[in-house]
Structure 1
Amino acid sequence: MGSGALNDASKFDEDGHPKRTGTVWSAGAHIITAVIGSGVLTLAWAIAQMGWIVGLTVLLAFSIITMFTSTLLADCYRAADGTRNYVYKDAVKSYLGGIKYKFCGVVQYSYLVGVTIGYSITTAISLVAMKKSLCFHKHGHNHDCTLSNNPFIVLFGLIQIVISQVPNFHELAFLSFIAAIMSFSYASIGLGLSIAKITGKKHAPTSITGKPITDSYSAEEKMWSCFAAIGNIAFAYAFAVVLIEIQDTIRSGAPESKVMKRASVVGILISTVFYMLCGVLGYAAFGNAAPGNFLTGYGFYDPYWLILTANLFIAIHLFGAYQVFAQPVFGAVEGWCRRRWPGNTFVSKEHKLGRLRVNLFRVVWRSVYVVFTTLVAMLLPFFNDFVGLLGAISFWPLAVFFPIEMYMVRAKISRWSCRGFFLQVLSGFCLVASLLAGAGSIRGLVHSLRTFELLQSRS
């Protein structure tokens, strides 16, 4: 009896939750999986809109701001009384409460749902690109190899229904390690292809101010494109939304905040190096005509097997990245249902199926969620504008405003002190950037919808 109780106790932390086993390496893998996602594919396009000076300055500024606010947010993982905040909005509730807590929940979960929809679109585009690379190789670059995205969105959804049965974040470390390796791999292939294009003197012209204004491209259109590009860069750094959830996987022992800060700094530094390389070399290779996705926009055709491999890596990465952003949504709904119906066996009972644990409610709810994101992805297949809008919606409130507000409460920083004033100015600057990015992305979506035929998405 005593031995059984001891064995059971070894499986749980001090608060009765399953024992955490995460390390700085697993946390770093989760961060890289969340950060180096489909956002890296848009950076050449984003810099092409703004040019060398503004584009690189904006990219570097977002990196520095994200790294700084991530360290503030990591300090807010535990409440003032030392209890753990298991998810982001729990931290907001414990420090800020009230209306800010509700606002955070709406923004966070809207963004998480949006990202999973965006990843469904991106994966389908990459799967289509694999098939098109074979088609171009067989029939030539002038052949019409256009395909419908919808079957590939459905395929991604079917696979996600299966993967989504992994019970929680704690059991996803293996998937994040694989996804992190894939993200490095396809980013490296993109870099190699860009370098080959530059050294082969096949690259297009670039400029200090980016895409030039012409009779067919007005100053107003350039302004809106620059705003949308800011949203694309913001999306590339928007991992704060799952930072608390990642931190909650770190095993007890050393203070979780120290481990998370190290993981955040390492993860963001590595990501920034890749981002700068992909943005710089991608723009240098394609110039002002850089495609929205530099691995599926067909600036590259050959070697076809390498293009095929890169897009396979993107797809594998996004299978894991989808889960990094979907698991908090799953956990929130399942936790609410367990509290609402504590004695309901359909909601709470776990069934053993060999070595697997199966919960009927989890199977039904998560399958319905994946079907929903799949259907929306088929209805709104606009990669760049959708990515930009997600970045605009999430960056200021989740990566800047809430971390700053919570840290000021935690550290008892006066709003009128020099430090408090600096933090509020930083927050205000990021709010303006998010509003401009959102306006640019919404305008792009409206333009795309004018020519879009329902369920006729093709790449």
Structure 2
Amino acid sequence: MVEDNNTKNDSTKVYANKVAMDIEVPDTAHQISSDSWLQVAFVLTTGMNSAYVLGYSGSIMVQLGWVGGVVGLVLAVAVSLYANSLIAKLHEHGGVRHIRYRDLAGYIYGKRAYTLTWAMQYINLFMINTGYIILAGSALKAFYVLFRNDDQMKLPYFIAIAGVACGMFAICIPHLSALGFWLGVSTILTIIYSVIVIVLSIRDGIRSPARDYSMPGESSSNVFTIIGSAASLVFAFNTGMVPEIQATIREPVVKNMMKALNFQFTIGLLPFFLIIFVGYWAYGSSTGTYLLNNVTGPVWVKSLGNISAFLQAVIALHIFASPMYEFWDTKFGIRGSALNIKNLSFRFVVRGGYLIFNTFVAALLPFLGDFMSLTGAISTFPLTFILANHMYLVAMGDKLASSQKLWHWFNIAFFSIASLVATIAAIRLIVVDSKTYHIFANV
């Protein structure tokens, strides 16, 4: 909707800068401005501290070592908090709310940026959603293997089951704000698998002989592996959908969002770091990409950990899929009661179809981590770091001192180079691994 002088600035609407943007920005069919900052903080923390964290000891620490891993994680925290804060502060730029990332980009730059930002965000969120289905399927397989290691049920089958569970959850939960109760469930599940993996890892670490912490592989290939792990650091702390999450928060939106971000990057990091560091300490360079496969202990305890990880991944996926759900619901005018037959049928067909495709890709390419490194390089880096700094630079204009402008240009240049290098490393990794893995692999 194009803003004119007689238009009231309704908090449920987003207005386009009529000078920069020549497309209509619709109202949202979803609920906004309804959640406390604490609920939003749990959305952010649940998204970050998802069961994905069970893979970071193996995918980050093993590849980077103690020094590189610790320094990389700390730096990733600092730059991620900074970049997300820049985007959060632009939420009401121009005196209007921008509840979608593409709306903000379009308001500042114009129609082409609107389209490009939406394309990058779609790719980013699609890959994250697909990764969650693989994660949920892997947790189910780990649970199954504890009781029957007969190789009758292969990973693609468990991925299919996980996809069905994610689809059922997506149909039942109409929008992001409706996660309220489920965020509490997600928190409990996170505590369960976190405590299990930390306690069992510490016990194994105390009982085990000295571990090897050397970085695997030849030095020539390690360079590319390290770069790929740096791209994984981007995924560890960033949602790529700060405006969409901020849209759900109550007034004052900027102040409350900053509270939520500070919570995410302080208290929310405690279980995250504990799992990563304790896991790597206990198993060294032999740490796998799913930490619950490394730990030893009672079968029922490991079973509880795997089921908790599976269920939490199903809930967390809904957070990252919500921009797609909002787009479809708004486009087709899906409003009113979530239990309305028409609305239920729409969610069943559209969301179910989307997740069926996600599940197919997950089963087809279960070594999706390589593609996620590529996605981090070509979409998450630009969305989270390059675009955030440049948008803030353009939006603030002459309000920034010369030193501040120089700082933002430095960030833009640095992360542009990092994105290019990470893209090359990710493509190489895909080429190398394609010789080892095959489609529908039972990895």
Q: Deviations over 1:419-451 (max 9, x none)?
A: 111122123222333333333333232233223
What letter is aligned with 2:188? Answer: I
| Pair 1:186-2:193 in alignment | yes
Report what 2:215 is aligned to: 211
- Aligned partners of 1:148 and 1:458 also within 8 Å: yes
What letter is aligned with 1:92? Answer: A
Q: Flag the 1:300–1:202 CA change in 2: closer, same or farther, 3 A.
A: farther
- Counterparts of 2:379 and 2:267 in 1: how far apart (Å)? 22
Q: Flag the 1:280–1:134 CA change in 2: closer, same or farther, 3 A.
A: same
Report what 1:343 is aligned to: none
Q: Deviations over 1:16-66 (max 9, x none)?
A: 864632011110111012111244123212112122112211111110001
What letter is aligned with 1:246? Answer: I
- Counterparts of 1:233 and 1:360 in 2: how far apart (Å)? 38
What letter is aligned with 1:448? Answer: D
Shift of 1:260: 0.4
Report what 2:42 is aligned to: 29
Shift of 1:361: 3.3
Report what 2:119 is aligned to: 106
Q: Flag the 1:325–1:284 CA change in 2: closer, same or farther, 3 A.
A: same
Q: Flag the 1:413–1:401 CA change in 2: closer, same or farther, 3 A.
A: farther
- Counterparts of 1:402 and 1:218 in 2: how far apart (Å)? 35
Q: Flag the 1:349–1:31 CA change in 2: closer, same or farther, 3 A.
A: closer
Q: How many residues align?
A: 417
What letter is aligned with 1:262? Answer: K
- Aligned partners of 1:78 and 1:84 also within 8 Å: yes
Report what 1:7 is aligned to: none
What letter is aligned with 1:231? Answer: A
- Counterparts of 1:306 and 1:392 in 2: how far apart (Å)? 37
Shift of 1:353: 4.7
Secondary structure of 1:270's match? coil
| Pair 1:41-2:54 in alignment | yes
- Aligned partners of 1:49 and 1:225 also within 8 Å: yes
Alignment of 1:49-60 (within 5 A): 49-60=63-74
- Counterparts of 1:57 and 1:29 in 2: how far apart (Å)? 26
RMSD, aligned α-carbons: 2.5
- Counterparts of 2:209 and 2:198 in 1: how far apart (Å)? 15
- Counterparts of 2:277 and 2:101 in 1: how far apart (Å)? 34
Alignment of 1:43-442 (within 5 A): 43-45=56-58, 46-80=60-94, 82-135=95-148, 147-165=153-171, 166-202=173-209, 204-206=211-213, 210-211=214-215, 217-239=217-239, 241-252=240-251, 255-295=252-292, 298-338=293-333, 348=334, 353=339, 358-413=343-398, 417-442=402-427
- Aligned partners of 1:408 and 1:414 also within 8 Å: no
- Aligned partners of 2:197 and 2:295 also within 8 Å: no
What letter is aligned with 1:159? Answer: A
Q: Deviations over 1:239-258 (max 9, x none)?
A: 2x121111111123xx1111
- Counterparts of 2:147 and 2:361 in 1: how far apart (Å)? 28
Q: Deviations over 1:228-285 (max 9, x none)?
A: 211222211122x121111111123xx1111001101111223433333223222211
Secondary structure of 2:294's match? coil
- Counterparts of 1:13 and 1:390 in 2: how far apart (Å)? 33
- Aligned partners of 2:51 and 2:312 also within 8 Å: no
- Counterparts of 1:303 and 1:424 in 2: how far apart (Å)? 54
Q: Flag the 1:321–1:107 CA change in 2: closer, same or farther, 3 A.
A: same
Q: Flag the 1:282–1:94 CA change in 2: closer, same or farther, 3 A.
A: same
Q: Flag the 1:417–1:313 CA change in 2: closer, same or farther, 3 A.
A: same
Report what 1:458 is aligned to: 442
Q: Flag the 1:67–1:365 CA change in 2: closer, same or farther, 3 A.
A: same
What letter is aligned with 1:36? Answer: N
Shift of 1:383: 4.7
Shift of 1:377: 0.7
TM-score, normalised by the number of residues in structure 2: 0.86
TM-score, normalised by the number of residues in structure 1: 0.83
Q: Flag the 1:293–1:429 CA change in 2: closer, same or farther, 3 A.
A: farther
Shift of 1:201: 3.1
What letter is aligned with 1:304? Answer: V
Q: Deviations over 1:141-164 (max 9, x none)?
A: xxx657401222121222222222
With 123-132 and 189-198 compared, the bigger mean Cα shift is at 189-198
Shift of 1:351: 7.2
What letter is aligned with 1:52? Answer: W
What letter is aligned with 2:193? Answer: Y
What letter is aligned with 2:136? Answer: T
- Counterparts of 1:352 and 1:89 in 2: how far apart (Å)? 26
- Aligned partners of 1:86 and 1:244 also within 8 Å: yes
Question: Percent identity at matched positions?
Answer: 24
Report what 2:24 is aligned to: none
- Aligned partners of 1:351 and 1:359 also within 8 Å: no
**Tell me, which stretches of 5 or more residues in structure 2 are unaligned?**
1-9, 14-26
Report what 1:448 is aligned to: 433
- Counterparts of 1:270 and 1:393 in 2: how far apart (Å)? 30
Q: Flag the 1:449–1:200 CA change in 2: closer, same or farther, 3 A.
A: same
What letter is aligned with 1:230? Answer: A
- Aligned partners of 2:136 and 2:310 also within 8 Å: yes
Q: Deviations over 1:145-204 (max 9, x none)?
A: 574012221212222222222222221222233223323432332222221122223452
- Counterparts of 2:226 and 2:71 in 1: how far apart (Å)? 13
**Tell me, which stretches of 5 or more residues in structure 1 are unaligned?**
1-11, 137-143, 339-347
What letter is aligned with 2:261? Answer: S
